[in-house]
Amino acid sequence: MSGLSVDFRLPVGCPSCGSHLMRVSQVKNPDDKVFCASCSRYVCLYHEACTVLEKGPGSESEALIEAAVNRGP
């Protein structure tokens, strides 16, 4: 996956390890899966990550990520 993916910071941390560093494909399609860069756990889809980036940190963003994690890839 390396070389074809890019890292970015999310306002909400990974539910497994708490890292804010996320990884997504270089193409960044809205439906591309976002994984934690540290533990490789699935976190959300890229369009959801964009919403969280717009909203910034807070309970709304945390709820969005929690829902995405629980739903699964």
Is residue 17 within the footprint of Zn ion (CB under 5 A)?
A: yes
Rule CB under 5 A: choose which of 5, 11, 16, 28 binds Zn ion: 16
Residue 64: name the closest of 73, 54, 49 by CA: 49
Q: Using CB under 5 A as the criterion, what x/- string covers residues 26-45 for binding Zn ion?
A: ----------x-xx-x----
User: What angle do the packed helices 59-71 and 46-55 form, to 10 degrees?
Assistant: 170
Shortest separation between residue 73's beta carbon and Zn ion, angstroms? 14
- Its sign, for the CA torsion 50, 1, 69, 72, is positive
Residue ranges in contact with Zn ion by CB under 5 A: 14, 16-17, 19, 36, 38-39, 41
